Amino acid sequence: MYDEIITATDAFCLRHLDEEYAALCAKLSAKLARKRPSPLVRGDRRIWAAGIIYAIGRVNFLADPNQEPHMRTDTMADLLGVKQTTMANKGRLIMDTLNIGLMDPEFSRREIIDNNPMTWLLEVDGLIVDARNLPEPLQVEAWRCGLIPYVPAQAATSRASTPSE
């Protein structure tokens, strides 16, 4: 079941979107597969794949023409061979089940994360600070604690998504 869904999301994303969308869809699929009981065991695999792509697209504003890549939901449904309402309903169910919101850092593209100030706000000694302005050792510690998605000081020099250890 999981492999069929990943095959479908990868094929769609690599053909119509990009590798980053494919990786985020795989991450979301894995999270759904680990949930007990996994909702993926019931229902049409195509609909699950479409719902996963829809959910990741929604988190990242895929339907917004100012985004690159972008795609309207009706076009996505046509390309996936499913009804738009069915795809959207499954996507919303996925988002509700896993408590995923718009711009959720766990399922956001790098560009969305970089431009979302809420991702970087931390409380340090009672003050709200932007983690991107902290010294690198504190950024590394915040990353290790899961408070920020990557270490900005290291990404600025290497564009790496994780700090070197």
Q: What is the pLDDT of residue 158?
A: 52
On whether residue 163 sits in a domain, the answer given is: no
| Cα 147 from Cα 143, distance rounded (Å) | 6
Low-confidence residues in the chain, pLDDT < 70: 156-165
Instruction: Find out whether the peptide bond into 65 is cis, omega within 30 degrees of 0.
Output: no
Same domain, residue pair 101 and 34:
yes
Same domain, yes or no: 15 and 64 = yes
- Provide φ and ψ at 122, rounded to 5°: -130, 155
Domain span at residue 51 reads: 2-107
Query: 45-65 burial, b for 16+ CB within 10 Å, e for fewer?
Result: ebbbbbbbbbbbbbbbbbbee
Which amino acid does the sequence have at 68?
A: E
pTM (predicted TM-score): 0.82
88 and 123, same structural domain? no
Query: Whats the size of the chain, residue-wise?
Result: 165
Instruction: Output the pLDDT for position 83.
Output: 97
Tell me what pLDDT residue 156 has. 62
Q: What is the pLDDT of residue 119?
A: 86
Q: What is the CATH number of the domain that holds 91?
A: 1.10.472.10
Question: What's the pLDDT score for residue 160?
Answer: 42
61 with 32, same domain: the answer is yes
Q: Is residue 41 one of the residues assigned to a domain? A: yes
Residues 102 and 129 in one domain: no
* φ, ψ at 111 (rounded to 5°): -60, -40
> What is the spatial distance between Cα 89 and Cα 15, in angstroms, rounded to a whole number?
24
- Structurally, the chain folds into a number of domains equal to 2
- pLDDT at 38 (0 to 100): 87
Report the pLDDT value the prediction gives residue 13, as an integer from 0 to 100: 97
CA distances from 52 to 32, 111, 153 (A): 10, 20, 32
pLDDT per residue over 81-126, tens digit each? 999 999 999 999 999 999 999 888 899 999 988 888 888 999 988 9
On whether both 80 and 136 belong to a single domain, the answer is no
pLDDT of amino acid 81: 95
Same domain? 37 vs 103: yes
Q: Let me know if residue 154 belongs to a domain.
A: yes
Element (H, E) at 121: strand 121-124
